[in-house]
Chain A
Amino acid sequence: MLDQVARSNVVTLAEDKLYVLQNVLELDGRISAYPAAARGYAMSNLYLLKQPDAAVLIDTGYAAHEPVIRAQLQSLLPQGTPLSLFPLRLNEFMSINNIETLAARFNIEQCYTGNPDAAWWFDFGAVSDAGGSVLDKMKVTVVSRDEALPVGKLGDRIIDVFQAPVRLISTRWMYDRETKTLITSDMFTHVWRNKPEGPWFVSEADDPSSFQHVRSFLLNTRYWWIEGASTTPLRKAVNKVFETYDIETLAPGYGAIFRGRDQVEKQFKIFDEVLASLDKSLHTSRYVDRDEER
């Protein structure tokens, strides 16, 4: 537990508005979100959007981190604060593993998802074999593929939620108008570090992002299928996000966070160049074996 606490962190992205709850992931070949050969450390990032009357937690993290996540939340939220949960991927443990335990311990106002029957998906028996009873009481609020939602009841803070333009499974991205932050779940997760201490914000001096790094990262993780795909519609969808929103922080679900307009622009530019380079006009789509490293 002490080791877990030492390897966790709460970082303020905007005072009283936006926090990231971080827990270290050791890259030893056992983290599915990273290439099998990656070594070092990444972060599991949960984002807490806070208002005077309520808060929203984006993703709920892994069960191994639950005691720390609970402590992180308690350090930020006055007891009884209405808390909404928003898992960005309904099928993945990183997003939903702790919904049941948080529902048992916090004043959960609702859980946002794209599936009206989502409560069926969260019962891992973590609280007890009767865990379903906790989930039965939890309100589920269905969110469409493209929707603006208020944080709290004051109506002065809106988040835009939409389908991830490039995804492996059902995934939402989210834009927080107040802090100009784009939360991107499993995309832009390509910066890991040699030390658990980070740094977990990317600056120009320590940014490993390059065309080759991002290309290799995508092809060796969950975007193994992109080479030879028709990437024109994907590029259009990604560029639409970049052009629609005024983004100052790029906040992925794993790894380091990108801050500043220049960094954001750089990351989108590299991503676009990589997608363009992988298009079917330049590569023949072929069968890709599970263990092929590129």
Chain B
Amino acid sequence: MNDATTAAVVSKPKPTVEGHVPGSTLHRHNPLPREIAPDVYWLGECLEQRYKGVIYHSYNAAFLVIGNDASLLVETGHPKDFPHIERQLAQLLEGRAPLKYLFITHQETPHSGGLGRIMSRYPESVLCGDISDYHLVIPQYADRIRSMQRDEVIDLGGRGFQAVEPVIRDLRTSWWGFETRDRVLFPGDGFAYSHYHQDGHCGLFAEEAISLNLPDVSSTFADLALFWTKFADMERYVERLEWLLKKLDVKTIAPTHGLPIKDMDGTVKKVAEGLIWASKAPEAGIL
């Protein structure tokens, strides 16, 4: 192991584009929020990550599900996205069912960074799902945390939200979410891939991002962020994924890191190809 003592010092980029929201890393208009199914909204903003001289764009998205009686937020976003999500929530919830539930797929901070501030802004809201660690992270709201078991459903009025099996995951405490009326799956770290900012992919469905090489970006993300997928037999996980999609009759996939998916055959197959390919290629390392 080397003896170099020349760690690089960097300063945080300072966005300067007119109209740009403070705290953003994206130097252009934010295309979100976007409705991806009836009253299901995609929130947040891209995250640029510099790696080996290349800037990768991906999402750490949140999703708002609005019911007749209550609304639910899936994920609370990357810490840097809170100003965006706060503004998007205020805009979308005006005159609609109040935000009563927060559901976070797992405890990693890109999924849960805005948790404390959202609970502060929405004092009616209750955090639901796997509850591990949160009493240590937001001790001031420890009485607003509710455990959900597998397949348990929250009634939002006219639609439900279910905790379902997390097929592709990292922390053992993960759950995926499923909206029961329009059949939207929220798979957290599943279907994770970057997109091409320069080709205008930000804010698009995967099927609209024509030039996006899904097998390539899926395998790259797995290589950089999902170390375990380099060692496990991913064909077994892809089989289970296909089983779950059929069992739930999923119509839309709303991944936290990738672009939303409408084509359950073509697009899912391409992402699966990337996962399987990455599992068979040598590990390149992590961010």
Q: How far is the CA of A150 from the CA of B30 in the complex (A)?
A: 41
Point out the residue from A112, A115, A286 that lies within 8 Å of B287, measured CB to CB: A115
Interchain CB contact under 8 A, B108 and A30: no
Q: A168 with B170: in contact, given A31-B133, A112-B7, A117-B50 (CB under 8 Å)?
A: yes
Taking chain B's interface residues, is the majority helix, strand, or loop, or is none over half, making it mixed? Answer: loop
User: Please, which residue of chain B has its CB at the minimum distance from the CB of A110?
Assistant: B9
Q: How far is the CA of A126 from the CA of B138 in the complex (A)?
A: 10
Q: How far is the CA of A144 from the CA of B266 in the complex (A)?
A: 38
Residue B148 interfacial (CB < 8 Å)? no
- Residues in A with CB closer than 8 Å to B174 are 290
- Residues in A with CB closer than 8 Å to B1 are 146, 148, 160, 162, 244
Residue A62 interfacial (CB < 8 Å)? yes
- Residues in B with CB closer than 8 Å to A290 are 150, 165-166, 169, 172, 174-175
Taking the closest CB of chain A, its distance from the CB of B128, in whole angstroms, is 14
Interchain CB contact under 8 A, A169 and B170: yes
Point out the residue from B11, B78, B227, B228 that lies within 8 Å of A120, measured CB to CB: B78
Interchain CB contact under 8 A, B166 and A228: no
Interchain CB contact under 8 A, B79 and A226: no
Interchain CB contact under 8 A, A117 and B25: yes
Q: How far is the CA of A92 from the CA of B171 in the complex (A)?
A: 10
Q: Which of the listed residues A124, A143, A231 has the most CB atoms from chain B within 10 Å of its own CB?
A: A124
- Residues in B with CB closer than 8 Å to A244 are 1
Q: How far is the CA of A124 from the CA of B23 in the complex (A)?
A: 13
Interchain CB contact under 8 A, A91 and B116: no
* Residue contacts A-B, CB under 8 angstroms, 11 given: A30-B131, A30-B135, A63-B138, A124-B116, A140-B11, A142-B10, A148-B2, A148-B4, A170-B225, A222-B172, A233-B283
B residues within 8 Å of A by Cβ? 1-5, 7-13, 22-23, 25, 47-50, 78-80, 82, 107-110, 112-113, 115-117, 120, 131-133, 135-139, 150, 165-167, 169-175, 225, 227-228, 231-233, 236-237, 239-240, 283, 285-287
